[in-house]
């Protein structure tokens, strides 16, 4: 990880992150999470990546689609270079310790804390009375995902910052209420705004699978022609590219395309602009299309191959769950002991 290890307690560094299998992976998921995770897998820190299927069902999911999306997400991880021998890759529902710890956290966290969560307010919309109880308790399950492994570092997008603060609040209150130093105070590792992938139609909005316009995003399953067409149609401004990053400051669409190029090419924005500065978008867009197709085509091909044989994916997830349980089971047992459960 790039950021310094800073926990209040001497816990071994361990990375955990979760992604919802709610269908449809975008270039934003790839650059913001999957590639980022694969790039750090040789850092020597133990890492766990979880497909949070139990979080997905806090809003309605068609069962067949959920199953497909979970496997597709797993295929996306592997096709992006994540090695299941190096990182633990699994789906949440196969490790029941998550929900067991979540119940304890339901009893530690306060309803007032949940009510303040902006994601709940956004997802519940106007009719919060009709939201599922699971959607309300979502952040306590998320805290359990992280703390059942004593994870110290959690790479996520900016939108998850509030949930991670709540995770720290839950750990702090648990430790305080029971007079222990048991759960670590987890450090968020927030993806910087400089690298966030934005919509191709509006540089102020995050690229999202839920945007009604398919032209706003590149899907990891788009073919070469579709990628090229979406980039050709991407919103830009009439200026040429600047020769330094600061020339992109008030040009969100231009900045987004340059950021995407830099991330795909593993280059800094300044290095990209050293090469492409002065070019018009009519010249830069074909360069970007070519690079995007070159990087994404092998990934979507590998995803399609993996999806033909779900037995291989299912075996990877089963092994990941077994590995995860080796860490989670003793932490749950100790938690039960601390709380006063007989038989723990
Ligand atoms: N809430 C996260 C999201 O929507 C997904 C998630 C669930 C997660 N559990 C987690 C992320 C634990 C990091 C750690 O993006």
DSSP of 185-242: -PEEEEPPGGGPPBPSS-TTSB--TT-S-GGG--BTT--HHHHHHHHHHS---SSPPP
Going from the Cα of 195 to the center of ligand 1, the distance in angstroms, rounded, reads 19
From the alpha carbon of 157, which atom of ligand 1 is closest?
15
For residue 78, the model assigns a pLDDT of: 98
Which residue lies with its CA nearest to atom 11 of ligand 1?
Answer: 18
Going from the Cα of 166 to the center of ligand 1, the distance in angstroms, rounded, reads 12
Distance CA 146, CA 98 (A): 9
For residue 5, the model assigns a pLDDT of: 41
For residue 9, the model assigns a pLDDT of: 54
For residue 6, the model assigns a pLDDT of: 44
Going from the Cα of 236 to the center of ligand 1, the distance in angstroms, rounded, reads 32
Distance CA 227, CA 322 (A): 38
DSSP state of 266: T
For residue 211, the model assigns a pLDDT of: 94
pTM higher than the cut 0.85: yes
For residue 242, report the phi and psi dihedrals to the nearest 5 degrees: -75, 170
Going from the Cα of 17 to the center of ligand 1, the distance in angstroms, rounded, reads 6
Distance CA 227, CA 292 (A): 8
Task: Tell me the per-residue pLDDT of 243-298, one tens digit each, with 9 for 90 and over.
Answer: 999 999 999 999 999 999 999 999 999 999 999 999 999 999 999 999 999 999 99
Pocket test for ligand 1, best of 120, 142, 148, 154 (most atoms within 8 A of CB): 142
Instruction: Indicate which residues carry an active-site annotation.
Output: 123, 206, 209
Q: Which of 156, 112, 125 is nearest to 20 (CA)?
A: 156
For the chain, residues with pLDDT lower than 70 are: 1-9
Which residue lies with its CA nearest to atom 6 of ligand 1?
Answer: 18
Going from the Cα of 251 to the center of ligand 1, the distance in angstroms, rounded, reads 30
- Which residues, judged by CB distance below 6 Å to any ligand atom, belong to the binding site of ligand 1? 16-18, 20, 52, 55, 142, 145-146, 154, 156, 160, 163
Joined tokens for residue 101: 């710890």
Joined tokens for residue 238: 């009439």
Distance CA 261, CA 37 (A): 19
**Any idea how long the chain is?**
344
From the alpha carbon of 52, which atom of ligand 1 is closest?
7
DSSP of 64-128: HHHHHHHHHHHHHHHHTT--TTTSEEEEGGG-THHHHHHHHHHHHS-HHHHHT-HHHHHHHTT-G
Q: Which of 328, 8, 332 is nearest to 168 (CA)?
A: 8
Handedness of CA 305, 310, 312, 314 (dihedral sign): positive
Distance CA 144, CA 65 (A): 25
Distance CA 125, CA 121 (A): 6
Which residue lies with its CA nearest to atom 15 of ligand 1?
Answer: 19
Which residue lies with its CA nearest to atom 8 of ligand 1?
Answer: 18
Joined tokens for residue 260: 């995407």
Helix (H, G, I), strand (E, B) or coil at 17: strand
Task: Tell me the per-residue pLDDT of 24-70, one tens digit each, with 9 for 90 and over.
Answer: 999 999 999 999 999 999 999 999 999 999 999 999 999 999 999 99
What are the angstrom distances between the C-alpha of 257 and each of 217, 295, 342? 12, 15, 58
For residue 2, the model assigns a pLDDT of: 40
* Cβ atoms of 16 and 155 closer than 8 Å: no
Joined tokens for residue 281: 């978008």
For residue 192, the model assigns a pLDDT of: 76
Residues 270/28/201/68 CA torsion (nearest 10 deg) = 160
Which residue lies with its CA nearest to atom 10 of ligand 1?
Answer: 18
């Amino acid at each position: 990880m790039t950021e310094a290890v800073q926990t209040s307690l001497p816990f071994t560094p361990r990375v955990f992150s979760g992604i919802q299998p709610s269908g449809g992976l975008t270039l934003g998921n790839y650059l913001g999470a999957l590639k980022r995770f694969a790039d750090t897998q040789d850092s020597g820190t133990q890492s766990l990546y979880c497909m949070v299927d139990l979080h997905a069902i806090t809003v309605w999911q068609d069962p067949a689609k959920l199953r497909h999306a979970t496997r597709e997400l797993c295929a996306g991880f592997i096709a992006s270079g994540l090695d299941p021998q190096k990182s633990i890759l699994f789906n949440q529902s196969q490790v029941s310790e998550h929900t067991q710890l979540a119940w304890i956290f339901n009893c530690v966290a306060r309803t007032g804390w949940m009510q303040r969560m902006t994601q709940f307010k956004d997802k519940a919309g106007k009719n919060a009375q009709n939201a599922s109880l699971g959607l309300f308790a979502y952040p306590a399950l998320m805290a359990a995902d992280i703390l059942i492994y004593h994870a110290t570092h959690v790479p996520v997008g900016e939108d998850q910052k509030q949930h991670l603060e709540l995770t720290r609040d839950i750990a702090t209150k648990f430790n305080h209420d029971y007079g222990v130093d048991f759960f670590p105070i987890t450090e968020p590792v927030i993806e910087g705004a400089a690298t966030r992938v934005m919509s191709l139609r509006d540089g102020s909005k995050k690229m999202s699978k839920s945007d009604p316009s398919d032209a706003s995003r590149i899907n990891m399953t788009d073919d070469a022609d579709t990628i090229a067409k979406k980039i050709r149609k991407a919103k830009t401004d009439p200026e040429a590219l600047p020769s330094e990053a600061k020339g992109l400051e008030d040009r969100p669409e231009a900045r987004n395309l340059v950021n995407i190029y830099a991330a795909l090419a593993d280059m800094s924005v300044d290095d990209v602009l050293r090469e492409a500065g002065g070019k018009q978008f009519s010249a830069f867009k074909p360069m970007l299309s070519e690079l995007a197709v070159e990087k994404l085509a092998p990934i979507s091909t590998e995803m399609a191959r993996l999806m033909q044989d779900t037995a291989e994916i299912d075996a990877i997830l089963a092994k990941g769950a077994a590995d995860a349980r080796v860490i989670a089971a003793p932490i749950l047992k100790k938690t039960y002991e601390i709380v006063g459960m007989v038989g723990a």
